Amino acid sequence: MLNVGIIGCGKIAQIRHIPEYLNNKNVKITSFFDLNKERAQALAEKYQGKAFDSLDDMLKDQELDAVSICSANTVHAEHALKALENHKHVLLEKPMATKLEDCIKIVELARKNNLKLMIDQNQRLAKAHAKAKELIEKGEIGKIISFRTTFGHGGPETWSIDPGINSWFFDKNRSAMGALGDLGVHKTDLISYLVGSRIKAVTAKIATIDKKDAKGNPVSVDDNAFCIYEMENGVIGTMTASWTFYGREDNSTIIYGQKGILRIYDSKDYSIELLGADGSVVNYDLDRIQTNDNQTSTGIIDAFVDCIENNHKPLIDGESVLGAMKAVFAAMESSEIGRRIEIKE
């Protein structure tokens, strides 16, 4: 039985991590920590665990095997490094950290201490994305030429545990990044995974276009990100992340190859449409991707537990996500200085 602790007891913990742990017969949630002590205590009472007044006390528990880090973006690195220093396996919410050097430190410490480090880039595990990866590798659309990947909805106002425009998502001191760090990091990681190549250069515009704070001023983080990604294998495409899609959520990816097109989560009827250059059409009805209003199991928790119990490399290990994080930080730099940024190895 794996003893797991929850660091950060907000909505992502309550809606995704905790329910998925509860559905795994090999896990017991024993520990809770949150800066809001009442919130941690309420969850501890609900799930027969213990709420800790300090993270240090929680991590000193020798019976604790692993933690889910669901805290605010700006403390991801601090919490992950503390957990790894105390020899706990770590499932870390995205974005991995708010500075590239911190991402690298986390990965290196996990490797040094021989611990499992998994990042919650759950889009890789969505059924249609897994199938698309298979179709690409089988050559069903031939050599990839370009892509368009998008993740947009009306914003995180209803997602935060403290809903509304005062959500921590809009507070740069806690989030550091807006739509890019919330949604764009998912599609950045995903497109590199699907195309099978790292992002070598980025041209981007990161902007606050519409979201306003309680006083009517623009929020302190971006609500839109528009990126051109150049892949190492020659593929070029676009990634858009937005909190201003005030209608049906768009979580689509379209990949254009020499023999056809893959439209993934782009149709209301099918999770994949494979459109051949010869006019053929093959549809796959595999699943419906998660939305803020439609929560389903991501598979992340089961994969994390399995890699610890069976001592194998995590499906989405920290090192494999570094390329996406480099691209995200390059996008921020590109937007700030107004030019294309080449990413170093």
pLDDT digit string (tens) for 58-79? 999 999 999 999 999 999 999 9
Q: Give the rounded percent of residues in the chain with a pLDDT score beyond 70.
A: 97
Please report the pLDDT score of residue 183 as a whole number. 98
For 290, phi then psi, to 5°, come to: -60, 145
pTM score, whole prediction: 0.93
The helix/strand/coil state of 164 is coil
Asked whether the beta carbons of 29 and 91 are under 8 A apart, the reply is: no
Query: What are the residue boundaries of the structural domains of the chain, listed by start?
Result: 2-122, 125-299+323-342
**What is the third-level CATH fold of 125-299+323-342?**
Dihydrodipicolinate Reductase; domain 2 (3.30.360)
Q: Say which residues have a Cβ less than 8 Å from residue 281's Cβ, sequence separation at least 6.
A: 273, 274, 275
Amino acid, res. 269: D
Q: Does the structure show a pLDDT above 80 at 133?
A: yes
pLDDT level of residue 291 (50, 70, 90 thresholds): low
Q: Answer for the pair 220, 172: CB distance below 8 angstroms, yes or no.
A: yes
Residue among 282, 254, 248 at smallest CA distance from 268: 248
Which residue type is seen at 252?
A: S
**How open is the CA angle 181-120-36, to the nearest 5 degrees?**
75
Higher-pLDDT residue of 119, 1: 119
Question: Residue 25 — pLDDT band, cuts 50, 70, 90?
Answer: very high
Query: Per-residue pLDDT for 292 more than 60?
Result: no
Q: Are 243 and 178 in contact (CB under 8 A)?
A: yes
What does the pLDDT read at residue 344?
86
Domain range 2-122, CATH architecture: 3-Layer(aba) Sandwich (3.40)
Bridge partner residues of 205 (DSSP): 226
pLDDT at 345: 77
Opening angle at CA 100, ends 95 and 105, nearest 5: 95
The radius of gyration computed from the CA coordinates of the chain, to the nearest angstrom, equals 20
> Looking at the DSSP assignment, which residues form a beta bridge with residue 257?
144
Span 220-233, pLDDT tens digits: 999 999 999 999 99
Write phi, then psi, for 179 (nearest 5 degrees). -60, -35
Tokens of 244: 């201003």
C-alpha–C-alpha distance, residues 17 and 119, integer Å: 13
